[in-house]
Structure 1
């Protein structure tokens, strides 16, 4: 049995009766940028995250960049981030002129370690960007303590964590700002690119909106250099409809994770994902660790069996082109080890139990060879 890593058409088939007419109505309206459709989604997403404000932007990367611009972070500043993350986290810091400082991550949650953050603090540190990696919340209590003691901003990279929570508080509401991505394969995915910034600070929200619209709040009254970064009305309508299903999508991902945990519990050669106490993991990815240097062989074997898998991430950010030489390797042992061990299995909500069992069967078969 073939098992896809992700299949977007299954979710569309499930929702098309809800999606088609409202999207056509937006098309018929001629209002494709800004307007009530976007306003409604921003209100609803802010309410979902329990924040006062949400500002739609063009992507999750833009959400990170514009958050930093709104906080006046730039040249001469340092921002502490994990190296075990997608490139965009470091890229966003560098693109505002600041310097990313790479911290290590926890071997179990794969999220940034508070003790590593503390070791990286300097007089130039302005902010911390914790990444809620693969849908598991970062340890925000400790991170908020560090930020408060050192007068730092927290920009949550929540691009993989729409609906995740810690002690009942949604990601995106746990820092100064939250940056979300609506890339199509995310837990809340658009039919194209999109992103949003959440915050409880009105001034940050207003500045973020201004930066996303060429530095202007009134047409032809540009006050600063900004960006062309907006969430269009068609994507906003799609996302608003899907938002009503997000908790169900996330619960289905969690059920898929429970099945994997059941089927793979006795495989000694791998480590399964964990869910920390008080954390609500929404499994954007179900990422296992393959021990004893067998990861690449397992990946090749699964691909030969027509099982879709992916490696997130094979190269830590500090080892990628623009950042080579910017970190001390001895400070990032967990990051480097995870890059050699991780592989993500299919986990999307529409996956069926037989497919999950097939993936688990093939993994067991590999280790029995």
Structure 2
């Protein structure tokens, strides 16, 4: 039985609302209660006319968050996404190479020699999951280089996520699909043309590929892929236009640049552009297993963000100190009333 078949086999229909009912009955205290409260506040934010930005750090795409996030996108529960380049590409790696992935349940016990053996088989390990280079990374690279070089020759420029949207919509990868595309959050995002920002895209496998193709001369204009500052400018325009009609919430999975980059758009507009009329974020929740600390971004408590002009005193604030691969699907189930 393939890994895809094994995954599919356990996905049996469940009674509508059964997961939500279980959570509401059992999750009553501590981080469990915070999960319930944050999910209910997320729903209230949407019900009152607000919209939500979701940020993805860590390796949530390799953790197959698309199984729940895709439906959130389809049902209009997510208005924009900020993610690392790794999360952007790894959802598509999983889409085209799922059956070639390998789990390593005993990853904590691997010797350096066993890690080297994985490298020699071109199996790149992310915790307990190995991504196959040839079937995942090189398949996507083949489609990307066609789009990159075509745009380069035409003098066109696109953001990293826009190149992937073009590939998804063209059907160039469909022959390789190994999961139901309904379980790919990138496919769902492409269908809705969801705004995405990808700070630090250069620090990703496809970013490294792009640098290599620029170095070898296949791509003449390094600026064919738009990045960094232009992403912030695009986000500022989106936030300004959207916040004039809707309160915008911020749902942060993990920490790092995926969260810090987009949340800074508000203080940038207020302080650097002298636009105090721009509304603050209307909701904030972070799922993080980082140790609470004022010395780290990921571990800072939400109130610290008040001092940076990122959140207001009255912004609903939640932090769930737990593993996002467990918490995020449960919260999404509650929000979707599954």
Shared fold per TM-score greater than 0.5: no
TM-score by length of 1: 0.23
More helix by share: 2
TM-score by length of 2: 0.25
Question: 1 or 2 for the larger relative contact order (CA 8 Å, sep ≥6)?
Answer: 2
